[in-house]
Structure 1
Amino acid sequence: MTRRPLPDERRPANDGPKAAARNRAALIAAAREIYAEHGLDTPLSAIARRAHVGQGVLYRHFPDRAALALAVLEENVGQIEQAAAADGTDLAGVLGVLTWHQTESTAFVGILHADWTGSRSATPAYALTLSQRVERALRGHLPHGHRLAAQPDDLMIAVGMVSGAVTGPTREQRERRALAAWRLLGVEVGPVRPFEG
């Protein structure tokens, strides 16, 4: 037997599109955290629990694991592009945002650490596209004669080298290792933080 609400009882408001956008953002944030802690093979149910939504909500936004990982990666790259496009941003500032994403997202590290100089046939097209977008964002701030501009591949080789150094159980440890790698490459990095435009 179903219970009918009494006249003075109120139903929770349905936020409609606002709730959908909020749920999507919560799922991406939860996925970023879970991926950093446990890797890309984490059960999607753990991500839904962390975002405080049901699995049905997760699947409405992201039909499979790849779609969710791609959304996280797209957000990483989008923030780097926004930082690069912001007035007054220099290479060090964009590298600070890049480094923050490197310390926060193991999936992002994976696309930056890939060897794009070899055979690209096994590289997923979306990963190659995202990596190229990061390179364009950084290259737009690379001063003429900068050490990372000596050879065409130097910039992304350096990014891949730093990505390879981003290891450790805590974000702080990963950040410390990333900054040490940039320092060893002789490259100045601005404050390590997400882009807040």
Structure 2
Amino acid sequence: MNAKRPAPAERRAQLLDAADAVFAEHGVTAPLDLIVERAQVGRATLYRQFPDRKAIMLALLERSLEKTRQAAQALGDDDQAFFKLLALVADRIAVSAPLVDYWRAVERGDEVIAQARRQMWEAFQGPMKRAVEAGLCRQVLSFQDLSLVFGMLGGSLRGETAQQRKKLARRALQIIWHGLAD
């Protein structure tokens, strides 16, 4: 009896989950065969979805941006949404350090990265304004200020393990929250 094949979107998500885990564990230069093994699919399935490593990296970036947008939307009118989103980004940085490092190494003028930064800015706009209106944050941050905050969270990449990076990210968040609070 043949098992029903997963839908392409489901298979794509399965491959991205595997890629995220493999890259977090082995770095972004890990053999793509490790993704195939982790996802328990054939090579052809991987290459049908993603023709090369860059396509995987772009898909992981877009998925991360989408999760941030969804989190911002789900938090709705929560006055703490801005800080919760910062915590989500900090955790993502700590858990997926090799991916974050990869994107930090891409040239500043790269249009994909520029677009990703704009999308992050847009996701944070509403929550940031609500935090200011609620008196939880001194001022709405500029695009450059928010980029600087993300860079500060990136300091957690200095930790050698995910646990150390999470601890550094939490400390960076404390410092940032203290600096932003009224």
Question: TM over 0.5, yes or no?
Answer: yes
Measured against aligned partners, the alpha-carbon deviations of 1:41-94 in whole angstroms (never above 9, x if no partner) come to: 111111111111111110011011111111111111100011111224411221
What is the match of residue 163 of structure 1?
154
Count of residue pairs brought into register by the alignment: 170
- The change in CA–CA distance for 1:84 and 1:150 in structure 2 (over 3 A counts) is closer
* Aligned counterpart, 2:38: 50
Distance (whole Å) between structure 2 residues aligned to residue 45 and residue 107 of structure 1: 18
**Contact 2:87–2:173 (Cα < 8 Å) also in 1:** no
What displacement does 1:34 show?
1.4
Distance in 1 (alpha carbons) for counterparts of 2:141 and 2:120: 18
2:29 match: secondary structure: coil
Match status 1:13 vs 2:7: no
1:138 maps to which residue? Answer: 124
> Once the 2 structures are TM-superposed, how far is the Cα of residue 187 of structure 1 from its aligned partner?
4.8
- Go from structure 1 to structure 2 and tell me whether the alpha carbon gap of 1:173 and 1:147 turns closer, same or farther (over 3 Å shift): farther
- Give the Cα separation in 1 of the matches to 2:7 and 2:139: 44
Please give the alpha-carbon distance, in whole angstroms, between the structure 2 residues aligned to 1:125 and 1:134: 14
> Is the CA contact 2:15–2:39 (under 8 Å) kept in the aligned structure 1?
yes
Q: CA deviation at 1:20?
A: 3.0
Give the TM-score normalised by structure 2: 0.80
* Matched position secondary structure for 2:122: helix
Q: Which runs of 5+ in 2 are unaligned?
A: none
Could you tell which deviates more after superposition, 25-34 or 159-168? 159-168
Unaligned runs of 5+ in 1: 1-10, 189-197
Map 1:96-135; keep pairs closer than 5 Å.
96-105=87-96, 106-108=98-100, 110-111=102-103, 113=104, 120=108, 123-135=109-121
Which one has a bigger Cα radius of gyration? 1
Q: Is the 8 A contact 2:91 2:166 kept in 1?
A: yes
TM-score w.r.t. length of structure 1: 0.74
Find the counterpart in structure 1 of residue 165 from structure 2.
174
Instruction: Name the structure where helix makes up a greater proportion of residues.
Output: 2
- Equivalent-residue separation in structure 1 for 2:117 and 2:37 (angstroms): 30
Percentage of identical aligned residues: 32
Q: Is the 8 A contact 2:22 2:35 kept in 1?
A: yes
What value does the CA root-mean-square deviation take over the aligned residues? 2.6
Pairing of 1:31-110 with structure 2 (within 5 A): 31-86=19-74, 87-89=76-78, 90-105=81-96, 106-108=98-100, 110=102
Q: Is the 8 A contact 2:14 2:39 kept in 1?
A: yes
**1:110-143 deviations in Å (ceiling 9; x for gaps):** 44x569xxx84xx321121112111221232113
CA contact (8 A) 2:90 2:173 kept: no
Contact 2:12 2:49 (C-alpha < 8 Å) held by counterparts:
yes
